[in-house]
Amino acid sequence: MSQKNAIIILAVIILAFGGYRLFSPAHSIKNSKPRGETIICFGDSLTAGTGATAGRDYPAQLAALIGRPVVNAGVPGNTTADALARLNNDVLNRSPRIVIITLGGNDLKNGLDRETAFRNLRVIVETIQQQGALVVVGGLKFFPLDRGYAAAYDQLAAETGALLVPDILGGIMGETRLMSDQIHPNDEGYARMAEKFHKALQPYL
């Protein structure tokens, strides 16, 4: 084998491995073959669809992408503590199969303690997993006011086996054409969110 061919083969291997690392989770996913029946989006205003026109929130657009009903269990203004208080009624009692969580933004915005927020998130994630459901976490990153939240989402996913979609608003927030205000996407922005979740979910549907 010539030196040139050896270099080409090595480059292909490196690129292939890099692609695997980019699109594959760095930890094993818990409940990768989930039980239950219902796909639920559980969160705050980003889930409820603040800023979207009727039927254009991200859960509705995700339902169109996967061709299955998706429950929108988003409540604007919810902190992780608020969401934990309604976990039974809005998630556990609905035979969850896949639960997509976007929470923590209001904790960050309101200056609530990060450790408390992620302790609540861990309870939410692990309680859902105990029912055999796959949990997907939409991570948030509000640079420069992140306060370590992005890293905390990574740690939460690694320690619980949740599937993380990091920086779910990446490429959306700050893009005027994709936002309805400084925090919430518009219809097209929510479409981008739905596409990100859809891509992450495909191996588990």
DSSP state for residue 52 in the 8-state scheme: P
φ/ψ bin of 134: left (φ > 0), alpha (ψ from -120 to 50), beta (otherwise)? beta
pTM of the model: 0.87
pLDDT number for residue 26: 66
Domain boundaries, the chain: 30-204
Give Rg (Cα) of the chain: 18
In this prediction, residue 167 carries a pLDDT of 95
- Cβ-in-10-Å burial (0-12, 13-18, 19+) of 187 comes to middle
pLDDT by residue for the chain (205 residues), tens digit each? 444 444 334 333 333 334 333 444 568 999 999 999 999 999 999 999 999 999 999 999 999 999 999 999 999 999 999 999 999 999 999 999 999 999 999 999 999 999 999 999 999 999 999 999 999 999 998 877 778 899 999 999 999 999 999 999 999 999 999 999 999 999 999 999 999 999 999 999 9
Reported as a single tens digit per residue, the pLDDT across 13-30 is: 333 334 333 444 568 999
Looking at residue 19, what is its pLDDT? 39
Tokens of 87: 């976990």
Residue 108: other Cβ atoms inside 10 A: 19
Q: Of 77, 49, 92, 68, whose CA–CA distance to 193 is shortest? A: 49
With 0-12 / 13-18 / 19 or more C-beta atoms within 10 angstroms meaning exposed / middle / buried, residue 58 is buried
* Answer CATH for 30-204 from 3.40.50.2300, 3.30.2000.10, 3.20.20.80, 3.40.50.1110: 3.40.50.1110
CA distance 20 to 174: 29
